[in-house]
A and B are shown apart, each in its own frame.
Chain A
Amino acid sequence: MVIKVLGSGCANCQKLEALAAKVVSDLGLDADVVKVTDIGQIMAYGVMSTPALVIDEELKVAGRVPTYDEVVALLQRSAH
C-alpha cells in the first residue's frame, strides 16, 4: 500500500504525515508513507486545499487533518 500526504510543507501537512506514519506502525501495515510537495503533482489529484491524504492513488481526505480513528478506519478499509 502507498500512502501519500499532499502538502507544501505547512504545519498541518507535517501533522498529517506524522499521523499517517504512526497509524501505519501501530497497525503493523506494510505501507510506504510518501510526501508530495510539488504543486503540479498535488493539483493532479484535483486537490485545492491541503493537507490531503491519498491511499493507493485514491483521494480520501482534503483540507483538514483527520482524527487518528478516521485514519485507522481508512487504512483498514484499504488494506483489505
Chain B
Amino acid sequence: MDPFYPLQLLANWITYNVLGLSATSKLGASLDFFLFDVPKVLILLAVVIFFVAVIRSFFPPEKTKKLLSHSRLYGGNIAAALLGIVTPFCSCSAVPLFIGFVESGVPLGVTFSFLVASPMINEVAVILLLGLFGWQIAALYVVSGLLIAITSGIIIGKLGLESWVEDYVYEIRMGEAGKLPEQTWRERLAYALGYVKEIVGKVWPYVVVGIGIGAVMHGYVPNDFLVKYAGPGNPLAVPLAVLIGVPLYSNAAGVVPIVGVLIAKGVSVGTALAFMMAVVGLSLPEAIILRKVLKPKLIALYFGINAVGIVAIGYLFNLVIPLAR
C-alpha cells in the first residue's frame, strides 16, 4: 500500500467535504493536488535528508581526496563521479575542495568529474523521482548524470587545461590535517538532524512554489496541451528546455514536482529530465564561486560541455522512451 494514502484521504476530505469543491472542477483538482503533494514531498524530504546526512558523515572530502589522489584517467573519472554523489559538498566549500584536490595530485579531469557529479546528481532529486515516478526514471537520472560527469571530466583531462586554472592555486601548500577525531554516532545523528532542519528550512518555499505551479498546471492546463510545443514532434524542445533551465536556479525539491506535471501534460521524458538537470546542475551562483579558482574560459568550457551533455541525454531518452505513460 502507498504509505502516503492517508494524506490523500486528508487532502480529499479538505477539498471536497470541508470546502465543498467539485471533484471535476479545475480549482478542486488543483487544490487537492497541492494539499496532497506539499506534505508528502516535505515528509519524503526530511526522511531522506536525514539518512543521506548520516551516510555522508562517513565520506568527508578529506577522505575522498585521499582516495582520488594519483588516480588515472577513466578509472579515476568513474570513481570521482561516484564519490561526487556521496561527498557532502556545499557551494561555499567549492574553493577549498578544488584547491585541495589539485594540490594533492588529483588530475584536473578527475577533479572535474567530481565537480560535475556533485551538484548534478542531487540525492534529493533522486529520492523525489523515486517517490513520485518510480525507480526507472530515478535510475535514468543517476546513470545520465554519471555519464555526463565522467565524459566531461575525461574531455577536460585530455585537453590538458592546467593553465586555465588560476595560477595562485598551484602556489598554495596544504598543511597536514592531523587526525580528526572519528565522529561518534551521537554526533553523526546530531549532525543529520541539524542538516534536516537547515535544508528543509531553506527549501520549503521552493517546494511550496514548485508544487503550486504544478498544481495550477495540473488543474487548468489540458492534458496533452504541451505535446504541441515540447512533445516528440518538436526536435528543438530539448535544447530549448536546457536554455530555459540554466538561468533558473532552484532547488531540486522545487523542480521535481514541476517535472512530474510537465511529463503528465505531454512533455517527453527526456526533455523534462534535461530541463531538470539544467536547473539543478548548472547554476550561476556556482559559476561565480568557481571563478575564484578557474579562469573564465575554463568556466565557459565547463558549462558548455555540461549543457551539451544534458542536451544529448535529453535526446537519448526521447529516443528510448517514446512517451512514458
Contact = CB atoms under 8 A, between A and B. Distances in A.
**Are A and B bound to each other?**
yes
Interface of A: 7-8, 10-13, 39-40, 42-50, 58-67, 70
A48 B65 contact: yes
A12 B89 CA distance: 13
Interface in B77-125: 88-90, 92-93, 95-97, 99-101, 103
A8 B174 CA distance: 16
Q: Which are the 5 A-B pairs with shortest beta-carbon distances?
A: A46-B177, A10-B92, A48-B100, A44-B175, A48-B61
B301 interface: no
Given A42-B96, A48-B65, A62 B175 contact: no
Interface string B48-71: 000000000000111001000000
Contacts of A63: 60-61, 88, 93
A72 to B, nearest CB: 13
A63 B61 CA distance: 8
Contacts of B103: 43
B180 A62 contact: yes
12 contacts: A10-B92, A39-B292, A46-B176, A48-B96, A48-B99, A48-B100, A49-B96, A58-B178, A60-B180, A60-B181, A62-B60, A63-B88
Most chain B beta-carbon neighbours within 10 Å: one of A8, A40, A60, A64 = A64
A46 B190 contact: no
B172 A39 contact: yes
Given A39-B99, A50-B93, 20 more contacts: A12-B92, A39-B95, A39-B96, A39-B172, A40-B172, A43-B96, A43-B172, A45-B175, A49-B62, A49-B89, A59-B177, A59-B180, A60-B180, A62-B62, A62-B180, A63-B93, A64-B191, A64-B194, A66-B187, A70-B190
Interface residues of B, number: 30
A3 B90 CA distance: 24
A43 B181 contact: no
Contacts of A66: 187
Contacts of B61: 48-49, 63
Contact of B194 (A10, A59, A62, A65): A65
Interface of B: 60-62, 65, 88-90, 92-93, 95-97, 99-101, 103, 172-178, 180-181, 187, 190-191, 194, 292
Given A40-B172, A59-B178, A66-B187, A46 B62 contact: yes
Given A40-B172, A48-B93, A62 B177 contact: yes
Contact of B95 (A8, A12, A64): A8
Contacts of B190: 67, 70
Contact of B174 (A44, A65, A67, A70): A44
A40 B61 CA distance: 18
Contact of B96 (A11, A47, A70): A47
A43 B180 contact: no
Contacts of B101: 48
A70 B188 CA distance: 12
A8 B129 CA distance: 34
A43 to B, nearest CB: 5
A49 B99 contact: no
Contacts of A64: 191, 194
Nearest to B103: A43
Nearest to A69: B190
B92 A50 contact: yes
A53 to B, nearest CB: 10
A48 B92 contact: no
